[in-house]
């Protein structure tokens, strides 16, 4: 072997040795620690219960169905959070229960996104998608958009919100994307009144789930039966029935059953409180749910569950502001400078729409969240100095009648002091 060949061989060995030495650390950096994923999941869970309690306490929701996807809302607001700064960022972190540094939060959400997407071998469908929709020719910081693309798989799309026709075309484009990502279950997420000429960015998340029960109900066993509604009235509903072994617990507070979906990755927990549903919901916490789940044991259960399907739509701005992040919605205090390089944007709306269909075969659910951001309006001071002849009128506003009309060409001089 020649001297040059020997040098090349030695170089290859050294390069391989170096790679083997640093590869473990590189892989460790690529995958977030499991503890970080757990922290993201725990924070999202705490936010989910806090959000539910706020919706549960809202007098406008009294006696009404409630259904949201906390995961969708957390994801959409996590993307928004990465573009926040100052007190706005602090408030959002507290409200959303984001406790990790940005880089670990990003990596945690990235890993969670990968885990929640169903692979082709699964017995269910679970799809999650994110996207950014920014005003064309408006500057967005590359660090912000690249982070959303890298960690949330959220592509950036140029649209135009200026002018009615352009805005409507953009709105329809975004709504079509949402429909496609939710298997046509979430339609018209963004209404014409939700955006205007000052809209500059919309962050969207869409989630779709469809799964069959591990133990399906027989349609022939479904019978009409009475259901006592919250308002005290009794309504007739299609009641599905079966007797099988399910995880179950019972106490003085409630009964709870767990219905697994095929594949056993997912399940539906059904909590039936002994007392008032709204009082029970107000006191429900992640810790309490965990205690209830520890008490569950396989039992033969005579199960009766209504077949139901409904949709919800929420404008979450007042709820989220009340939960602790008002600055994000304030035109004067919002700070999203990492998005654009200056604190020019604020959140004008957080829209969440969801649907649920529970039947004998299984369940289908979809949800979408849009965080709409507008540019802050600039107040221009106008000057009106009547220091030359002018016309004036006294007008009767209801009728439009001009009661008096005149011109001041030669005002009387000011009295001497």
My answer on whether 160 and 251 are in the same domain is no
SS3 of residue 73 by DSSP: helix
Report d(CA 373, CA 376) in Å as an integer. 9
Last residue of a domain, one of 285, 308, 331: 308
Instruction: Give the CA count within 13 Å in the CB-facing half-sphere of 193.
Output: 1
**CA distance from start to end of the chain:** 113
Q: Is residue 132, in this structure, part of any structural domain at all?
A: yes
Check residue 396 and give its pLDDT: 63
My answer on whether 205 and 223 are in the same domain is no
My answer on whether 172 and 233 are in the same domain is no
Q: Is residue 214, in this structure, part of any structural domain at all?
A: no
Q: Kindly report the CATH number assigned to the domain that includes residue 173.
A: 3.30.497.10
Check residue 399 and give its pLDDT: 55
My answer on whether 116 and 230 are in the same domain is no
Q: Is residue 72, in this structure, part of any structural domain at all?
A: yes
Q: What's the burial of 383, exposed, middle or buried (CB within 10 Å: 0-12/13-18/19+)?
A: exposed
Check residue 347 and give its pLDDT: 98
My answer on whether 154 and 260 are in the same domain is no
My answer on whether 112 and 192 are in the same domain is yes
Q: Is residue 196, in this structure, part of any structural domain at all?
A: yes
Last residue of a domain, one of 308, 334, 363: 308
Domain span at residue 272 reads: 219-308
Per-residue pLDDT of the chain (417 residues; tens, 9 = 90+): 443 444 344 444 334 343 344 444 333 345 566 778 889 989 999 999 899 999 999 989 888 889 899 999 999 999 999 999 999 999 999 999 999 999 999 999 999 998 888 888 888 899 999 999 999 999 999 999 999 999 999 999 999 999 999 999 999 999 999 999 999 999 999 999 999 999 999 999 999 989 999 999 999 999 998 888 887 888 889 999 999 999 898 999 988 888 889 988 888 888 888 888 888 898 989 899 899 999 999 999 988 889 988 899 999 999 999 999 999 999 999 999 999 999 999 999 999 999 999 899 999 989 999 999 999 875 444 566 777 776 666 666 665 656 666 667 677 776 665
Check residue 383 and give its pLDDT: 67
Per 3-state DSSP, what percentage of the chain is helix, strand, and coil (rounded to 5)?
40, 30, 30
My answer on whether 202 and 224 are in the same domain is no
Give the pair of three-digit tokens for residue 371. 């965080």
My answer on whether 38 and 61 are in the same domain is yes
Q: Is residue 265, in this structure, part of any structural domain at all?
A: yes
Domain count, the chain: 2
Last residue of a domain, one of 266, 287, 308: 308
My answer on whether 79 and 197 are in the same domain is yes
Q: Is residue 4, in this structure, part of any structural domain at all?
A: no
Q: Is residue 414, in this structure, part of any structural domain at all?
A: no
My answer on whether 276 and 141 are in the same domain is no
My answer on whether 317 and 331 are in the same domain is yes
Closest CA to 175 of 212, 137, 133, 118: 133
Check residue 273 and give its pLDDT: 87
Check residue 51 and give its pLDDT: 92
Check residue 397 and give its pLDDT: 65
Q: Is residue 340, in this structure, part of any structural domain at all?
A: yes
Q: Kindly report the CATH number assigned to the domain that includes residue 297.
A: 2.30.39.10
My answer on whether 227 and 354 are in the same domain is no
Check residue 400 and give its pLDDT: 67
Check residue 26 and give its pLDDT: 36
Check residue 63 and give its pLDDT: 85
Report d(CA 345, CA 372) in Å as an integer. 10
């Amino acid at each position: 072997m020649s001297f040059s060949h020997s040098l090349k061989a030695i170089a290859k060995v050294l390069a391989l040795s170096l790679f083997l030495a640093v590869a473990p650390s590189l892989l460790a950096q690529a995958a977030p620690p499991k503890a970080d994923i757990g922290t993201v999941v725990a924070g999202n869970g705490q936010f989910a219960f806090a959000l539910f309690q706020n919706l549960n306490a809202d007098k406008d929701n009294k006696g009404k169905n409630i259904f949201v996807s906390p995961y969708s809302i957390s994801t959409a607001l996590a993307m928004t959070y990465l573009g926040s700064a100052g007190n706005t960022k602090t408030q959002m972190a507290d409200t959303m229960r984001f406790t990790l540094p940005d880089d670990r939060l990003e990596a945690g959400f990235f890993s969670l996104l990968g885990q929640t997407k169903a692979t082709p071998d699964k017995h269910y469908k679970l799809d999650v998608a994110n996207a950014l929709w920014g005003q064309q020719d408006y500057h967005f910081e590359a660090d912000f958009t690249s982070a959303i693309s890298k960690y949330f798989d959220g592509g950036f799309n140029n649209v135009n919100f200026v002018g009615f026709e352009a805005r409507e075309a953009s709105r329809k484009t975004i709504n079509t994307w949402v429909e496609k990502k939710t298997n046509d279950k979430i339609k018209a997420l963004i209404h014409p009144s939700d955006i205007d000429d000052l809209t500059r960015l919309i962050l969207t998340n869409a989630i779709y789930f469809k799964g069959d029960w591990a133990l399906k109900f027989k349609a022939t066993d479904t019978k009409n039966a009475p259901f006592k509604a919250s308002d005290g009235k009794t309504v007739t509903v299609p009641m599905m029935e079966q007797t099988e072994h399910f995880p179950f617990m019972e106490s003085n507070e409630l009964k709870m059953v767990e219905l697994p979906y095929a594949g056993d990755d997912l399940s539906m927990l059904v909590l039936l409180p002994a007392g008032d549903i709204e009082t029970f919901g107000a006191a429900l916490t992640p810790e309490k749910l965990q205690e209830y789940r520890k008490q569950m044991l396989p039992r033969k259960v005579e199960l009766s569950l209504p077949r139901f399907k409904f949709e919800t739509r929420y404008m979450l701005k007042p709820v989220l502001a009340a939960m602790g992040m008002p600055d994000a919605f304030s035109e004067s205090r919002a700070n999203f400078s990492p998005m654009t390089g200056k604190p020019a944007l604020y959140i004008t709306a957080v829209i969440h729409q969801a649907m649920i269909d529970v039947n004998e075969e299984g369940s289908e659910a979809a949800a979408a969240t849009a965080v709409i951001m507008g540019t802050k309006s600039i107040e221009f001071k106008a000057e009106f100095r009547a220091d030359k002849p002018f016309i004036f009128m006294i007008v009767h506003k209801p009728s439009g009648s001009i009661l008096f009309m005149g011109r001041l060409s030669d005002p009387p001089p000011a009295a001497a002091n």
